[in-house]
Chain A
Amino acid sequence: MIKNNFLNKINNSKKSYIIYKTTKGFNLYTDFSSKIILNNKNIDKFLSKKFKYNKNYKNTDLFIGFFGYEILNNLIKVKLPKQKNINFPKGIFYKPEKKITLKEDLIYYSNKSYKVNKNFKININKKSYTKIFNRFIKKIRAGETYQIKICTKYKNKSKIDPLDFFCRLSKTNLAPEAFMIKDKNFSIISCSPENLITKKGSYISTKPIAGTLRKTKKINKKKALKFFKNNIKETKEHNMIVDMERSDLSKVCKPGSVKLIKEKTVEEYKDLYHYVSLIRGKLKKNVKNIDIIKAMMPGGSVIGCPKISTLNLLNNQEKENRNIYTGSFGFIKFNGDMRFNIIIRSILNYKNISEISVASGVVVDSNSNHEFNENFIKAKALIDLYK
């Protein structure tokens, strides 16, 4: 009960805080002593920072936060055209002074009754989606991209209690890279399943997902594997991502050290099966964290392939800034270790406007109707929280 009271207490205290999933439960970080709002000018300095750390290393000796999509493009010299922009920060990192370990079942009693608006507006209707889809199919035929993900955005105006949303979301979808941020004028609630970077010492790994199946009583792990193996579209997308992530890791790893540790396996979560691979390599000497971030981000599995030409195709088509969507959240420890996810399946609530972005892959034999609906299904789990 102490921990439960704690959640209510901290939420009522108006303090900013961050919750991040661990293998056993969650970590909560708070009492931020500094907050760095990233821009194109200070990001190099932030990422090249050398931290003092010694034997008395504390578990709060880290920066935790996120990179938005735009700043990650700019880092690898991809420019975005002028887009509709809500001027949300391009990235924020916090230095916590307190870390609290929480158990997996978060219990929190929301004591405020907010008026939550259930209706969402979509930024691309089916007709314009089909148009974009057909344009991209032509680009695939011409070889300009091998796979590309069209992003749609759902928006509404409502005041929400992010902790209540996060606790409810974690009950129905306990994702391995889930996190939430509560700050003064914004909050992020995410059930991201995908780890992009795990760096420990001189080893680095990435765990791309391509293929998701909802659990039912009839489907066990074995059947899920069969389903994925027989699904040509998922298999092709997955293959492409494995080779792309191997190449991204190879930019910063020793030749011959990049290995496919798990090849197309099924991982079982509370409500879902994911089709995942695990790739690991040993870092070259003198590689800096900024080199790793430039090599790996934005995470290829949610963009398409090849990365640069596909980013350019996407950016020229998108009228609205993606903000956090397909950016990365995680931490950089003072000893250089890192953990970052890919920000998908997330809600950004900024100045009482919520936005949920989703994307699904266009490969040549996908169908625009199917993919448009797929996008809606992905958004629905989050939209359903607005009840």
Chain B
Amino acid sequence: MIYVIDHKDSFTQNIVHQFSLFDKVECDDLSQINKSKLNKASTIVFSPGPGSPKDYPESSKIYNRFKGKKKIIGICLGFQQILYCEGANIVEQKKIYHGFQSEIITNKFSNLFDNGSKFKVGRYHSLKLKEPFYAKNFYVTMRCVKSKVAMSFENNKDKIYGFQFHPESFLTINGNLLIKKILSA
């Protein structure tokens, strides 16, 4: 079972439906986390949401508790939340991408996706990962073709994955395939 933790976002149900294509999905608001669902889940997903990772200490706690024990996936804010827990700085960027379609490219650090493959994705973020960033076993694996901003990471040892863009957006081409690959990794 996949447990989606919702940060009161207006895109979360799209994620729930997308992940439902591959497994049973449960979703609760962060303020109403069900402990038995959390323990039962094989995968935890941190949803997008308003604000920045420092606003969600409860999500950080959940991440730190289950890191290495369950597969963990973060989307948009969830992506930032995981990196924040790994010591990253999440900062405002000059250009803001709310409702943007951008082209991104996969690099050689990816285990799951072919090096150099390009595709179009939907973005909703004003904050970004400040680089350089180093954390053990974490690799930035996709970047925006134009701005070079980090768009995904993989930690294949601990099975932790994140997307800064929205794989569930109608603006993302082949979003379902991305999720399928991550879930079967």
Q: Which A residues fall within an 8 A CB radius of B? A: 140-147, 235-240, 242-244, 246-251, 255-256, 258, 260, 263, 300, 305-310, 363-365
Contacts and interface: CB of A to CB of B under 8 A. Distances in A.
Interface in B53-80: 77
Contacts of A308: 8, 10
Contact of A238 (B9, B20, B99, B124): B99
A236 B20 contact: no
Contacts of A243: 10-11, 14, 99, 122, 124, 166, 168-171
14 contacts: A141-B126, A142-B127, A143-B127, A239-B101, A243-B168, A247-B13, A248-B10, A250-B17, A255-B20, A260-B170, A263-B170, A305-B10, A306-B49, A363-B99
B116 interface: no
Given A255-B25, A263-B170, 20 more contacts: A140-B126, A141-B96, A142-B51, A144-B50, A146-B50, A146-B98, A146-B99, A239-B100, A239-B171, A240-B98, A243-B99, A243-B166, A247-B13, A247-B14, A255-B16, A256-B17, A306-B8, A306-B50, A364-B126, A365-B96
B121 to A, nearest CB: 12
B50 to A, nearest CB: 4
Shortest beta-carbon contacts, A-B, top 9: A236-B99, A250-B13, A255-B20, A239-B99, A306-B10, A309-B50, A240-B99, A146-B98, A247-B13
Contacts of A251: 13
B170 A147 contact: no
A300 B98 contact: no
Contacts, number: 107
B110 interface: no
A236 B98 contact: yes
B98 A140 contact: yes
Question: Chain B's interface: helix, strand, loop or mixed, by majority?
Answer: mixed
B178 interface: no
A248 B9 CA distance: 10
B10 A307 contact: yes
Contacts of B101: 239
B52 interface: yes
Interface in B148-185: 166, 168-171
Contact of B170 (A145, A237, A246, A306): A246
B112 interface: no
Contact of A141 (B50, B92, B171): B92
A244 B11 CA distance: 6
A334 to B, nearest CB: 29
Interface residues of B, number: 33
Q: Interface majority SS on A: helix, strand, loop or mixed?
A: helix
Interface centre among A142, A238, A258 (most CB of B within 10 A): A142
A237 B11 CA distance: 14
B10 A244 contact: yes
A249 B13 CA distance: 8
Contacts of A310: 50
Contact of B98 (A147, A250, A256): A147
A90 to B, nearest CB: 24
Nearest to A137: B96
A177 B12 CA distance: 29
Interface in B111-145: 122, 124-127
B52 A142 contact: yes
Interface in B30-56: 49-52
A140 B98 CA distance: 9
Q: Which of A140, A240, A260 has the most CB of B within 10 A?
A: A240
Contacts of B96: 140-141, 364-365
A247 B12 contact: yes
Contacts of A305: 10
A247 B50 contact: no
A142 B8 CA distance: 16
B8 to A, nearest CB: 5
